[in-house]
Chains A and B, each alone.
Chain A
Amino acid sequence: MTDFIQNCIDGVMIGSGYALLAIGFTIIFGVLRRVNLSYGPSIMLGAFVGTLLYVQFQAHAVVVAMATVVGAVLAGMYVERVCFWAIRRGAAVASMVSSFAIWMQLEELAIVMLPERTYPFPPLTETAPIEIGPFFLRSEHLTMFVVAVVLVAVVHTVLYRTRFGLSVRAVSENLLAARFMGINVDAVMFWAFALVSAIGGVAGFLILATDQQVTPYFGLWATFKGLIAMMLGGMGSLPGAILGGLILGIVEVQSLWYLGNDYKDLSAYFLLFLVLIIRPGGILGHALSERERAAFRRV
């Protein structure tokens, strides 16, 4: 039982990182109605800028963090202009395929930048794990969790208490109506992308600093985790993204402990299939069928 609870604790901590990635995918899906397959890779590119500073200049962890965020934001802006703004009048699929191509491009760029396959990442903290009764809390995990909570609070504040956040929500709910309200939809999409990239940069830094290494395939990894968490929790729902991330984290840690490394990813996919069969919208996604939803939205 102790193990089970310990795994839950670890799972929640790790899952908070997944939740941040899922939030990024969710906001972009809500605002642009498209899935950005370059999200993970743009974070990875930011991380590579960070590791470059670390390896070449022995930069402090905070500097690496800032570089990761800035790099991710710049990469994100590039992706937005090239994949999404440039193809905004095209079919949604065109943008998504384009973002897949850019993913490849970013991965190649990272390999050119730093040809070795693995690079070190500065550790988050050097402190020993914290003991609470029979349970251990790794301090890196705790740091990641706390920062994730703060970031979620920031996102919520931005979305519900700022003019910009209002425009993001309006564009997500009814694009045409948002235009008629005087909202510059192109600008909203661009800055939403920047915000989401910044969140991704922080999430990426936290995750990589916990692992203390980065590879060019971090983009692929982050995309999987973020998309699975988003689909588990419910596409288009921010609480869903958080819930999906936490559940994914817990399921992974539990299956790693009880079933071994081979079954860790398999369990996650199995859970996803199960959820999508029982409740296609995801756990917190819409309970209504597609037709009922269409009627609700025909407003």
Chain B
Amino acid sequence: MLTVENIVTAYGMIQALRGVTLEARKGEITCLLGPNGAGKTTLMFTIAGLLKPQQGTVRLEGEDLSGVSAAKVVERGISLVPENRLMFPEMTVEENLMVGAFVRMKGKKADLAADKEAVYAHFPSLKERQSQLAGSLSGGEQQMVAIGRALMARPRILLMDEPSLGLAPLIVEEIFRIVEELNQAGVTIFLVEQNARMALRVAHHFYLLEQGRITFSGLPGELEEEEVFQRAYLGSRQE
């Protein structure tokens, strides 16, 4: 569904992505693992249209997204749950969700109430807190708001940038349970993670990104677990 071909993204002279090619298939959970600084968030920003790659293409179900602005990328069907959640702290949970549906608010009155209820069905604890300011929520609750907010746009594919970051282990388990639940309900997910153990439990396919290059592509279980963890957290041993 989402194909990334030979992406080269640089910050000035520093090449963060050196020819990245990968694919997230429809209906699957695809994971990208890699150590800090490998380029995972750079890739997410490139796909989301925030960064322009020097080379390469991003395609969504065949449509070329080159040169498409960040705002238009959301309209085309890619929603990002950003690293660190990025709440609108002084808006309520409900208002945060509404902003998520921004691209659908044009023209005729969109039926957002149904989408909102669907989000609350996935996250019942959010419904209790719907009038609470997002800045006052716990990390796990904010993560749920961030996911729900992205879903409000009815994306074709959901990008998730390190959803487990900074969360307690129990909450991380819940988040990944939700990821699986969403996928079973039909959402295609492209997940970037450092928490290799949890990510591999839910992934249908995974990639390893090291120093801006894809160094492995395959199914969970194809690579020795130990090796995966080492390369995901620390990078390969230098030859």
- Name A's B-contacting residues (CB within 8 A): 163, 166-167, 169-170, 173-174, 176-185, 296-299
Contact = CB atoms under 8 A, between A and B. Distances in A.
B74 A181 contact: yes
Interface string B169-198: 000000000000000000000000000000
Given A177-B82, A183-B71, A299 B142 contact: yes
Given A163-B105, A170-B99, A173-B91, A182 B74 contact: yes
B50 interface: yes
Given A296-B135, A297-B135, A299-B86, A179 B91 contact: no
Interface of B: 48, 50, 69-75, 79-80, 82, 84-91, 95, 98-100, 102-103, 105-106, 134-136, 142, 149, 153
Contacts of A169: 88, 91
4 A-B pairs closest in CB distance:
A182-B74, A177-B86, A182-B103, A299-B87
Contacts of A163: 102, 105-106
A166 B89 contact: no
A183 B89 contact: no
A167 B71 CA distance: 12
B86 A182 contact: no
Given A177-B82, A181-B99, A299 B75 contact: no
B149 A179 contact: no
Contacts of A176: 82, 86
Nearest to B79: A180
Contacts of A185: 71
A179 B82 CA distance: 11
Nearest to A296: B135
Nearest to B142: A299
B75 A174 contact: no
A296 B133 CA distance: 11
